[in-house]
Structure 1
Amino acid sequence: MALVFFPLISLLLLLLVRTDAQTVGNLTVGASLSADENSHPWISPSGDYAFGFHQLSSDKSLFLLAIWYNKIPDRTLVWVNSYGILRLVTGLQVAVKRLNTLVHGHAEKEFKTEVNVIGQTHHKNLVRLLGFCDEGENRLLVYEYLSNGTLASFLFGGLRPSWIQRTQIAFGIARGLLYLHEECSTQIIHCDIKPQNILLDEYYNARISDFGLAKLLMLNQSQTNTYIRGTKGYVAPEWFRNLPISVKVDVYSFGVLLLELTCCRKSVDMESSSEERAILTDWAYDCYLEETLDLLVENDVDAQHDLAKVERFVQVAIWCIQEDLSLRPTMREVTQMLEGVVQVPAPPCPCPYASTA
Structure 2
Amino acid sequence: MVELNYHRETIDVYSFGVMVLEMLYRRKNLDRFQPEEDMHLLDLFKRKVEEERLLDIVDKYNDDMQTHRAEVVEMMRVAVWCLQSDFSKRPSMSVLVKVLEGSADVQSNLDYNFTTPMAPRPIIVVGHQGDAIGATTPLFASALSGPR
Band of TM-score, shorter chain: 0.5 to 0.7
Q: Which has the higher strand share?
A: 1
The alignment status of 1:322 with 2:68, answered yes or no, reads: no
Residue 292 of structure 1 corresponds to: 53
Residue 248 of structure 1 corresponds to: 10
Residue 115 of structure 2 corresponds to: 351
Q: Which has the higher helix share?
A: 2
Bigger Rg, structure 1 or 2: 1
Q: Distance in 2 between matches of 1:318 and 1:310?
A: 12
Residue 154 of structure 1 corresponds to: none
Moved over 3 A (4+): none
Deviation at 1:245, TM superposition (A): 4.1
Q: How does 1:60-139 map to 2 (within 5 A)?
A: none
Residues 209-259 of structure 1 deviation map (CA, whole Å, 9 limit, x = unaligned): xxxxxxxxxxxxxxxxxxxxxxxxxxxxxxxxxxx9421111111111111
Of residues 299-308 and 333-342 in structure 1, the stretch that sits farther from structure 2 once superposed is 333-342
Pick aligned residue for 1:281 from 38, 42, 46: 42
1:284·1:314 contact (CA, 8 Å) conserved in 2? no
> Is the alpha carbon distance of 1:282 and 1:341 closer, same or farther for their aligned partners in structure 2, counting shifts above 3 Å?
farther
**SS at the partner of 2:18?**
helix
Residue 19 of structure 2 corresponds to: 257
Residue 333 of structure 1 corresponds to: 95
Letter matched to residue 98 of structure 2: Q
**TM-score, normalization by structure 1:** 0.29
Q: Distance in 2 between matches of 1:338 and 1:288?
A: 22
Q: Distance in 1 between matches of 2:50 and 2:93?
A: 24
Residue 30 of structure 2 corresponds to: 268
Q: Distance in 2 between matches of 1:275 and 1:340?
A: 38
Q: Which runs of 5+ in 2 are unaligned?
A: 120-148
**TM-score, normalization by structure 2:** 0.64
Q: Distance in 2 between matches of 1:262 and 1:278?
A: 16
Structure showing greater relative contact order (alpha-carbon pairs closer than 8 Å, 6 or more residues apart): 2
Q: Distance in 2 between matches of 1:279 and 1:246?
A: 24
Letter matched to residue 280 of structure 1: L
The size of the alignment, in residue pairs, is 111
Q: Which runs of 5+ in 1 are unaligned?
A: 1-188, 190-243
Q: Distance in 1 between matches of 2:49 and 2:103?
A: 22
Q: Distance in 1 between matches of 2:97 and 2:15?
A: 15
Q: Distance in 1 between matches of 2:110 and 2:92?
A: 15
Identity of aligned residues (%): 35
Q: Distance in 2 between matches of 1:299 and 1:339?
A: 27
Deviation at 1:346, TM superposition (A): 4.2
RMSD across aligned positions (CA) = 2.5
Q: How does 1:182-193 map to 2 (within 5 A)?
A: none
Q: How does 1:37-52 map to 2 (within 5 A)?
A: none
> Is the alpha carbon distance of 1:305 and 1:346 closer, same or farther for their aligned partners in structure 2, counting shifts above 3 Å?
farther
